[in-house]
């Protein structure tokens, strides 16, 4: 039997439910289709549970450092992994329940549980049901990529989903991939008490960041006893449960690491291979991302793609912003677009890395007349008082337009402090607006004006 709606939203991640609400408030009948957990990745297996685990790891770390602050915890610090798991699941489940009751309360919205697949450009099948609509909004997200490493079929491994379900501590966790997921889980499991080895293909961690940022992160992680193996190409997996091996055959010298557990953190792939996109004629790129224009419209009239599945973001805030862009265009006649978004993200190791705009390297490559200001966190009063002086802040300015091009704050509260620079970029104001601002003492942000008052020119050769 076929049912007709004004609009169908596939996926209840970061964009879908908000869009369903806006469409419903505009009086449209909406079907929201979700095959698994309401709230999608961020709520269930992404940001919310990882940042909850990061919080537990931080407490363990600070408890071990308590003596530095003149505080005694009266003995050895022990981490109860089941306790960590319970706290994390509780936070994540409350968040999911909130999404569920929010959606249940939306007038004109029918929640359909199941996997949606296109039958044609305006019809989707969910089990025995077919639903049709003139407007279809895809918010299907992505999942961990598991490349065809030799041995992958016989060696047990974890992805972001399984690793956050562990209720006992791995003795030695090997992580393949030294980017967001690898580094966040790597540091947290080290702080929980596991031996941790990170194996990364590139010759440095976070290869998209400036070299000074990568180098400072290496220092932070190695200081905590995390083993790093970079330049690890041609990965092969060996072993069985409790005894796993990762071999990098083309590395020089050849690497072989043995551990008890294995986490693959080598990127994500969009959930577009099982959507029947060919039946709708929707174009995807070579990685499976749905090709969209600057307003999230797919190649077929009446179909939009938002969030991780369109390859234009990869973060919770970019998925939510895609929803805002679509709602503005479809419902408000406001031509908002992805190109107006300034790249911004944080890496939640401790201390965190807050990042906006261009790196120094990117700015030079694009031919800007680049000025840079750098200040080590060891010269930031608030960081000294907190006893958290690792890292640095760095601003990148265009000397000609006097606009901020980007910034990195690797240091205490870097994920928060970066926003005073981000908002100046959105305001398109000269960097001197911040350089002359009076910030509150004692804060990490207080040193941003000082850093902007001490710029020096850099050339491509020096980068
Ligand atoms: C470990 C980890 C940590 C992260 N930490 C952060 C962070 O700190 N900050 C940050 O900004 N981002 C973080 N991210 C990324 C962030 O989680 C994602 O970018 C975000 O959740 C993507 O949201 P989305 O709306 O695009 O898709 P999702 O949230 O993945 O939602 C897609 C939904 O669609 C459903 N679905 C898929 N196919 C179908 C179908 N055919 N039929 C019906 N339903 C379907 C899925 O079940 C899912 O519920 C993290 C990711 C991971 C894995
Ligand atoms: N704090 C955050 O905002 C946050 C946290 C976690 C995840 N995320 C999102 O999830 C996405 C996925 O994260 P991720 O860390 O899995 O992926 P990623 O794409 O950011 O990085 C993958 C890493 O694995 C390495 N790699 C790839 N293939 C390899 C191979 N064959 N052998 C060895 N190393 C290899 C890459 O060089 C890279 O460093 C991120 O891009 C981001 O969008 C965000």
Summarised one tens digit per residue, pLDDT across range 277-287 is 999 999 999 99
Q: Is the pLDDT of residue 44 over 60?
A: yes
441 is catalytic: yes
Question: Does residue 19 line the site of ligand 1, with CB under 6 A?
Answer: no
Question: Does residue 44 line the site of ligand 1, with CB under 6 A?
Answer: no
Q: How many residues does the chain have?
A: 463
210 within 8 A of 185, measured Cβ to Cβ: no
Q: How confident is the model at residue 253 (pLDDT cuts 50, 70, 90)?
A: confident
pLDDT digits over 214-252, tens only?
999 999 999 999 999 999 999 999 999 999 999 999 888
Q: How confident is the model at residue 106 (pLDDT cuts 50, 70, 90)?
A: very high
Query: Of 159, 166, 160, 135, whose CA–CA distance to 24 is shortest?
Result: 135
Q: How confident is the model at residue 462 (pLDDT cuts 50, 70, 90)?
A: very low
pLDDT of residue 463: 42
- How much distance in Å is there from the Cα of 200 to the middle of ligand 2? 10
Average pLDDT over residues 132-159: 98
Average pLDDT over residues 342-365: 98
Q: Is the pLDDT of residue 95 over 90?
A: yes
- How much distance in Å is there from the Cα of 143 to the middle of ligand 2? 12
Active-site residue identified among 317, 439, 441, 456: 441
Q: Please, what are the domains in the chain?
A: 2-143+269-340 (3.50.50.60), 162-266 (3.50.50.60), 345-457 (3.30.390.30)
Closest atom of ligand 1 to CA, residue 313 = 19
Q: Is the pLDDT of residue 433 over 50?
A: yes
- The strand pair at 392-398 and 370-376 is best described as antiparallel
445 within 8 A of 439, measured Cβ to Cβ: yes
pLDDT digits over 404-426, tens only?
999 999 999 999 999 999 999 99
Q: Is 416 annotated as a binding residue?
A: no
Give 450's contacts (C-beta < 8 A, 6+ positions apart): 375
**Helix, strand or coil, per DSSP, at residue 172:** strand
Pocket test for ligand 1, best of 42, 160, 175, 306 (most atoms within 8 A of CB): 42
Q: Is the pLDDT of residue 119 over 70?
A: yes
**DSSP string across 210-275:** -HHHHHHHHHHHHHTT-EEE-S--SEEEEEETTEEEEEETTSSS-EEEEESEEEE-S-EEETTTTT
Q: Is the pLDDT of residue 355 over 60?
A: yes
Give 398's contacts (C-beta < 8 A, 6+ positions apart): 363, 368, 369, 370, 371, 404, 405
Q: What value does the mean pLDDT of the chain take?
A: 97
The whole model's pTM is what? 0.97
Share of the chain above pLDDT 70, in %: 99
pLDDT of residue 461: 57
pLDDT digits over 152-192, tens only?
999 999 999 999 999 999 999 999 999 999 999 999 999 99
């Amino acid at each position: 039997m076929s049912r007709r709606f004004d609009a169908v939203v596939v996926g209840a991640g970061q964009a879908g439910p908000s869009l369903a609400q806006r469409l419903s408030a505009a009086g449209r009948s909406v079907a929201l289709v979700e095959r698994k957990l309401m709230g999608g990745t961020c709520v269930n297996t992404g940001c919310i549970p990882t940042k909850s685990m990061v919080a537990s790891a931080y407490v363990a770390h600070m408890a071990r450092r308590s003596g530095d602050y003149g505080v005694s915890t009266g003995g050895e610090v022990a981490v109860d992994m089941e306790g960590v798991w319970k706290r994390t699941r509780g936070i994540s489940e409350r968040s999911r329940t909130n999404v569920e009751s929010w959606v249940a309360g939306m007038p004109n919205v029918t929640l359909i549980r199941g996997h949606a697949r296109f039958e044609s450009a305006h019809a989707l099948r969910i089990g025995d049901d077919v639903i049709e609509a003139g407007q279809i909004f895809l918010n299907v997200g992505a999942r961990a990529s598991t490349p065809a490493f030799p041995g992958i079929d016989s060696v047990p491994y974890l992805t972001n989903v399984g690793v956050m379900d562990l209720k006992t501590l791995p003795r030695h966790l090997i992580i393949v991939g030294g980017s967001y997921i690898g580094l966040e889980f790597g540091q947290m499991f080290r702080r929980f008490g596991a031996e941790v080895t990170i194996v990364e293909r590139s010759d440095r961690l976070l290869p998209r960041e400036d070299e000074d940022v990568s180098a400072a992160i290496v220092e932070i992680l190695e200081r905590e006893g995390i083993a790093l193996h970079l330049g690890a190409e041609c990965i092969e997996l060996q072993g069985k449960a409790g005894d796993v091996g990762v071999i990098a055959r083309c590395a020089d010298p050849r690497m072989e690491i043995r551990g008890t557990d294995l986490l693959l953190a080598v990127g994500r792939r969009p959930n577009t291979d099982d959507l029947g996109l060919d039946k709708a004629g929707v174009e995807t790129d070579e990685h499976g991302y749905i090709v969209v224009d600057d307003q999230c419209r797919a190649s077929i009239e009446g179909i939009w793609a938002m969030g991780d599945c369109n390859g234009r973001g990869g973060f919770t805030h970019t998925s939510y912003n895609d929803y805002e862009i679509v709602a503005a265009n479809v419902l408000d006649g406001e031509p908002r677009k992805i190109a107006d978004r300034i790249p911004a993200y944080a890496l939640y190791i401790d201390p965190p890395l807050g990042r906006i705009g261009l790196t120094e390297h990117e700015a030079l490559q694009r031919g800007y007349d680049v000025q840079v200001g750098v200040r080590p966190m060891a010269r930031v009063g608030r960081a000294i008082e907190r006893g958290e002086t690792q890292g640095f802040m760095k601003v990148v300015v265009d000397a000609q337009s006097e606009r901020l091009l980007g910034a990195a704050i690797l240091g205490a509260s870097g994920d928060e402090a970066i926003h005073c620079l981000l908002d100046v970029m959105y305001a398109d104001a000269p960097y001197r607006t911040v350089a002359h601002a009076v910030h509150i003492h004692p804060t990490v942000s207080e040193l941003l004006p000082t850093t902007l008052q001490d710029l020096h020119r850099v050339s491509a050769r020096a980068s």
